[in-house]
Amino acid sequence: MSTDTFRALVARKTEGGQAVALETITEADLPAADVTVDVEFSSFNYKDGLALKGQSRILRTFPMVPGIDFAGTVRTSDNPAFAPGDKVVLTGWGVGESWSGGFAERARVKGEWLVKLPEGLTTHQAMAIGTAGLTAMLCVDALERYGITPGGDVLVTGAAGGVGSVAVRLLSRLGYKVSALTGRRSEEDFLKSIGACEIVDRDTYAAAGKPLASERWHGAVDTVGGQILANVLASTAYGGAVAACGLAAATDLPTTVFPFILRNVALLGVDSVNCPTARRARAWARLSDVLEPNDLDQVTRDVGLDDLPRLADDIIAGRVRGRTVVRTR
Ligand code: NDP
């Protein structure tokens, strides 16, 4: 095992909770596993914001390197499926929660968690997509498996956020008519530039509504939960479906059974953390096919490891636009 040092953001337990600081560590500080990766980029997700703020018990053990995803180059491997020099991406599997993650120059993980980058996708682009973009793709897959097809009206909630903005871009590239629900009217031009045809004001979906409203959406990607998800279900057309992946507004779901039993509406749960590897690999390949290089530039900005503690407040408050790529070196 290499004894040279590298930089990592480390969360340590304190009497009052936890403290997060940039530290210099060695491979002995990482968990034992079969593949070591030189991390080039990580990304900043809502869950990373919660982790850095010590909320929702995202970090399960200490000390911990947060960062739920990363992309980089294999440095050493005892796994026959990976060789030094392979470009790889990792999302989920509890990395950055109960296993040291991507906010470091190096990570050591189980090879079975890694996906080789599809041809044509750089490590920077992989993290412009990141956990959020993979989740957006899995939501689109879920809608399509249910029979939702391009051409129809679809709604994306939390549209200016990470999952939302990639979902808007993907769905519009695939030929759907995309409406973007947002609480930030100031992001209207941004949302239209990434393919939204119409902007829906968050307030119109925020209050308790009727169990069934007029049928507007053939499909929806919901990243926020709560009353907004209930109202989206109530306004989904006969035979439509809603892919639910997030809780940015709330974890409850104050709905009735009417959309399900009178309109054949389906609520499709989407998890990216424990998604089987074969489905992930297909999703990455499809992301690489569908998205144009410029699509990612439009929704992304780059930051360094030192910027993350400050950004945690912003992402939890819903103030971050699109995707945030983290340079680790
Ligand atoms: P972001 O913070 O980037 O985006 C969330 C967006 O939700 C915000 O930009 C905002 O969009 C909207 N929002 C924020 N607060 C509220 C509120 N109180 N009420 C209504 N809308 C709100 O987060 P991510 O895109 O990274 O993640 C989105 C959600 O998806 C999170 O809950 C996250 O935990 C979940 N997630 C789940 C995954 C899974 O595997 N199931 C994987 C990845 C993420 P706007 O300003 O446009 O309204």
What pLDDT does residue 218 have?
98
Pocket test for ligand 1, best of 48, 223, 268 (most atoms within 8 A of CB): 223
Ligand 1 centroid distance, CA of 90 (Å): 20
In a domain, 287, yes or no: no
Question: Ligand 1, atom 27: nearest CA belongs to which residue?
Answer: 46
Contacting residues for 257 by C-beta, under 8 A, at least 6 apart: none
Looking at the fold, whether 12 and 135 belong to one and the same domain comes out as: no
Taking alpha carbons only, the member of 131, 133, 153 closest to residue 220 is 153
Q: Cα(42) to centroid of ligand 1, in Å? A: 18
Q: Is 36 in the pocket of ligand 1 (CB under 6 A)?
A: no
Say how many Å lie between the CA of residue 246 and the centre of ligand 1: 6
Encoding tokens for residue 53?
Answer: 């703020």
Structural domain including 46 reads: 5-117+292-327
Identify whether the C-beta of residue 294 lies closer than 8 Å to the C-beta of residue 300: no
Statement to judge: residues 141 and 247 lie in one domain:
yes
- Kindly state if the Cβ of 44 falls inside 6 Å of ligand 1: no
Residue 35 has a pLDDT of 98
193 and 238 share one domain: yes
Domain membership of residue 286 (yes or no) is no
User: Is 282 contained in some domain?
Assistant: no
Judge whether 274 lies within some domain.
Answer: no
Q: Is 136 in the pocket of ligand 1 (CB under 6 A)?
A: no
In a domain, 123, yes or no: no
Adjacent-strand bridge partners of 77 = 35
Is residue 163 in contact with ligand 1, taking CB distance under 6 Å? yes
Q: What is the pLDDT of residue 155?
A: 98
Residue 280 lies in a domain: no
Output the 3-class SS for 221-248.
EECCCHHHHHHHHHCEEEEEEEEECCCC
Pocket test for ligand 1, best of 157, 163, 170, 199 (most atoms within 8 A of CB): 163
Rounded distance, CA 157 to CA 99, Å? 30
CA distance 320 to 329: 22
With tokens 């993979």, the residue in question is 134
To test the pocket of ligand 1, the residue of 170, 203, 224 to mutate (highest count of ligand atoms within 8 Å of its CB) is 224
Distance 82 CA to ligand 1 centre (A): 33
Residues of the chain under the 70 pLDDT cut: 1
Is 112 in the same domain as 13? yes
Instruction: Assign residue 40 the CATH number of its domain.
Output: 3.90.180.10
Residues 225 and 302 in one domain: no
Supply the pLDDT for residue 5: 97
Amino acid type, 8? A
Indicate if 13 and 100 belong to the same structural domain. Answer: yes
Query: Does some domain include residue 126?
Result: no
**Residue 46 Cβ contacting ligand 1 at under 6 Å:** yes
State the pLDDT at residue 60.
Answer: 87
Looking at the fold, whether 211 and 257 belong to one and the same domain comes out as: yes
Model pLDDT, residue 3: 79
Say how many domains are in the chain: 2
CA-wise closest residue to 130 among 318, 309, 302, 269: 302
- Please tell me whether residues 212 and 99 are part of one structural domain: no
Residue 8 is predicted with a pLDDT of: 98
Q: Are residues 167 and 200 in the same domain?
A: yes
CB 326 within 8 A of CB 67: yes
Report yes or no on 124 lying in a domain.
Answer: no
Give the number of the atom of ligand 1 that is nearest the alpha carbon of residue 183. 48
Q: Do 254 and 149 share a structural domain?
A: yes
- CATH (domain of 214): 3.40.50.720
Does ligand 1 have an atom closer than 6 angstroms to the CB of 273? yes
Atom of ligand 1 nearest to the CA of 165: 25
Rounded-to-integer distance, Cα 41 and Cα 38, Å: 9
Confidence (pLDDT) at 293: 78
Using DSSP, state whether 9 is helix, strand or coil: strand
pLDDT tens string 240-274: 999 999 999 999 999 999 999 999 999 999 999 99
Pair 251, 223: CB distance under 8 Å: no
